[in-house]
Amino acid sequence: MYDDNATNPIKEIYDERSEGYDDSNNSLHVRQAQEYIKRAELQEGETVLDLACGTGLVTLLAKKQVRRGRVVGVDISNGMLEVARRKTRQQGLDITYIEHDIADLSGLDLLPQAPQEFDVITCASALVLVKNPLCAVKHWASLLAPNGRLLTDVPSERSMVAALILKEVGVEIGQSLRWDANWIESAESLRKVLSDAGLEVEQVYTSEAYSMVDYKAEDGPEIFEKTVASPMFRNFGERATRDKAKALFSRKFEEMAGEDGLVHEEVRFYVGIARKPTIL
């Protein structure tokens, strides 16, 4: 992600989103966490590292599955971790939470005993936020036990129509998205990162549609206002460039409409499941 400091934009964004995160996007994150746990096939006693654990959606469910197994959650946002810790206390669970950049965990004492190896590592909705995905996944693979498995995801190309348009708008107004999704062209893009990191890819699949929305072509201005109200995209609504950004967004939004006059959006993710080769 970024350096651990107070000016980190991702840290600030998620600190602000923390209290309402679980209920945002029609509880997409809650449903995604449930899907992760189903696919992870966790066994009692396994150790789990949940990266970008946020409010503990995956972390808490994982602990209930592995029971006596150790579960560690890492996130760069103290606000998100405070929510996770509160929920953990309320549910009487024992989970270790660490505030840190997930891209590089070198030097952290993640487990109370050596070796620092996990049976399962999960990273939901955050790989796209990492500056160098391949380097990050290679590092995560080093923390897996032999035959340990990693689950992570990236958004499909049509998951966030507004973000796609803002990326183009940004070129003309001197702004940029808070993440780089240019490397994602298809599900194969995720497969390649996992494979190049030295993992054996078991499966890369497209998730269910967490939401399906049809917008009218003329809805562009309204969608722009709603989008830039979010801390994730607020930089596109800055006073100096707001009017130009809105006009560009509205035009591009209209151009995106199909023959039926609608802009179709399906929020889906490419999800990868990979294993660390067994050392012979």
Distances (CA, A) of 44 to 33, 40, 113, 119: 18, 12, 19, 11
Neighbours of 196 (CB within 10 A): 12
Q: Answer whether 70's CB lies under 8 Å from 97's CB.
A: no
Distances (CA, A) of 19 to 80, 131, 254: 8, 26, 34
Distances (CA, A) of 256 to 153, 236, 247, 249, 260: 26, 19, 14, 10, 11
- What local confidence, expressed as pLDDT, does residue 169 receive? 97
Q: Are strands 262-267 and 211-216 parallel, antiparallel or unpaired?
A: antiparallel
- What local confidence, expressed as pLDDT, does residue 280 receive? 46
Give per-residue pLDDT as tens, 143-193. Answer: 999 999 999 999 998 888 999 999 999 999 999 998 888 899 999 999 999
- What local confidence, expressed as pLDDT, does residue 5 receive? 42
Q: Kindly give the confidence (pLDDT) of every residue in the chain, 280 residues in length, as a single tens digit, with 9 standing for 90 and above.
A: 444 444 678 899 999 989 988 887 768 899 999 999 999 999 999 999 999 999 999 999 999 999 999 999 999 999 999 999 999 999 999 999 999 999 999 989 999 877 889 999 999 999 999 999 999 999 999 999 999 999 999 999 888 899 999 999 999 999 999 888 889 999 999 999 999 999 999 999 999 999 999 999 999 999 999 999 999 999 999 999 999 999 999 999 999 999 999 999 999 999 999 999 987 4
Rounding to the nearest 10 degrees, give the CA dihedral for residues 70, 15, 138, 107. -60
- What local confidence, expressed as pLDDT, does residue 8 receive? 78
- What local confidence, expressed as pLDDT, does residue 7 receive? 60
- What local confidence, expressed as pLDDT, does residue 6 receive? 43
- What local confidence, expressed as pLDDT, does residue 21 receive? 86
Instruction: Give 4's contacts (C-beta < 8 A, 6+ positions apart).
Output: 11, 76, 99, 100, 101
For 217-231, the DSSP string reads GGGHHHHHHHHHTST
What is residue 18's DSSP assignment? G
